[in-house]
Amino acid sequence: METDGAKCMCERSYVEVEGKMFNDAIHGSISIHPLCVQIIDTPQFQRLRFLKMVGSCYFVFPAAAHNRFEHSLGVCYLAGKLVRAIQSRQPELNINSEDVLSVEVAGLCHDLGHGPFSHLWEEFVEMSPRKEKWTHEEASEKMFDYLIEANNLSEYFNKYDLDIQFIKKLICGLTESERQKNEKAFLYEIVANKRTGVDVDKWDYFLRDGHNLGIRVKFDYHRLVKYSRVIQVDGEWQICMRDKECNNLYDMFHARETLHRTAYQHRVVKIIDSMLIDAFLCADEHIKYQGKDGTNYALRNVCDDMSAYTNLIDDIFHRILLAKGDHPDLVKAKEILENILKRRLYIYVGQTEPNDEISQEKLLDTISSNIPEESSLEREELGIQKVRFNYGLGEKNPIEYIRFYSKNSPNEARKIQEEEISSMLPQRFQERRFRLIYKSNKEKDFNDAQKAFKNACKQLNMNAPSLADFPIHLQSS
């Protein structure tokens, strides 16, 4: 009679023999389960080849040309690696082969819903006239359903006895009340850990983005896999870490902050983000995508039809550039995109640290009211960007939400106090900035913008802004 351990080994051998090998730049040769290969070989998944992983960072970091496609393969691999490690160490958790494969599929499909230029598309949709709220996580669930339906994959999921609703929950996560009622709640922390932020999605993109951006990222996910352990904490089964991995976790969260500060929210990257969003807003009603029933959708609504959404990729940039028509909004959109290509970018005016009670709109209103009467500077030529650098949980220290176990007490989880780790830990875990940008190129108006910004901060009792050096390519008045 075959034991559970022997059965597990047979299943692993099957994956290795029957699966498909991919040569990945980060993880080396990785084996992907046959069901995952069926998913990969669909138009809906192949779409991820044409979505830049770090969006507009590619306009600033020339090597950052990697895509959501390879990231998704990496997350699938890491998800399987972590769940199998826990399965082998803790057989009492009753993790079966269906659980393992479900977690791998969730890792593979977690980013199906991303739009062009990744997270920037969500900002565009939020700023558009669209009535319904939209997130890429919701779109991932819809695209997952559509992928299965359009490619007749239900029989393959039935073959491996997988629950599609379970996989979708693994992608989006559980609510707090759902976690407490679920003995396998820890499975939902593997791909997207909403409790601590320690998950395989981040492990992959920190390393992959750092590699392609040329930014050194220092943390060891192999040790985190090795020392992950499921323990019941306050009635909830969750993934805990060995106490000696605390500094490794700090390195991981610091990697996130470094990537945001150095690349994702780089001053020029954010300026190009603003230009792309302005271009998409102008082109919104003039570039259409046809849905399954023949309906043509404006850009902000393409996500309502997965057939149309399958065709929405980064080539939206050139669709706008090559679009025919002389409507002023479309002409303006083309002009903005041409300016990106010619490096005629919006201009950084300066930045300040915001007060909690001051919103972007309030600051912009106050700046506008401080523009000199004789100035030709218009409010519409100014924009406020809000940027944050943190460890993933805002102003909170994410280590406080992780539970640790010791070598001598592997089934007891506890918090680790800061004084147990080091006296040199960060005292703050978030920095915020308001950046003022100027969307034209007149020298006098730029000077007026800086003066108005300085006076507005004083009027609002905010820190005096750090002002940019004078750009040499401005037109003199």
pLDDT digits (tens, 9 = 90+) for 50-59: 999 999 999 9
The pLDDT value given to residue 183: 83
pLDDT digits (tens, 9 = 90+) for 195-207: 899 999 999 999 9
pLDDT digits (tens, 9 = 90+) for 386-426: 999 888 888 888 888 999 999 999 999 999 876 666 655 67
Q: Which residue has the higher pLDDT, 73 or 471?
A: 73
The position carrying tokens 């176990």 is: 405
| Side chain identity at residue 242, one-letter code | R
Q: Which residue has the higher pLDDT, 474 or 48?
A: 48
pLDDT digits (tens, 9 = 90+) for 266-307: 999 999 999 999 999 999 999 999 999 999 999 999 999 999
Strand residues in 189-325 grouped as ranges (E): 228-233, 236-242, 289-290, 296-297
CA-to-CA distance for 396 and 93, rounded, in angstroms? 31
* 422 φ, ψ (degrees, to nearest 5): -170, 155
pLDDT over 70, % of the chain: 92
Average confidence score pLDDT of the chain: 91
pLDDT digits (tens, 9 = 90+) for 335-389: 999 999 999 999 999 999 988 889 999 999 999 999 999 999 999 999 999 999 8
Q: What are the residues facing 347 on neighbouring strands?
A: 438
pLDDT digits (tens, 9 = 90+) for 14-42: 344 368 999 999 999 999 999 999 999 99
pLDDT mean over 142-155: 97
pLDDT confidence tier of residue 450, bands split at 50, 70 and 90: very high
CA-to-CA distance for 21 and 295, rounded, in angstroms? 40
CA atoms in the 13 A half-sphere facing the CB of 223: 13
Domains and CATH numbers, the chain: 7-345 (1.10.3210.10), 347-401+428-477 (3.30.70.2760)
Active site residue 136: yes
CA-to-CA distance for 83 and 90, rounded, in angstroms? 10
The pLDDT value given to residue 6: 41
- Tell which residue, 411, 391, 387, 409, has the closest CA to residue 399: 391
Residue 474: strand, helix, or coil: coil
pLDDT at 143 over 70: yes
Q: What are the residues facing 404 on neighbouring strands?
A: 241, 414
Alpha helices in 402-465 (DSSP H): 418-421, 443-459
- Tell which residue, 121, 24, 123, 111, has the closest CA to residue 68: 111
- From the candidates 66, 110, 114, 136, which is the catalytic residue? 136
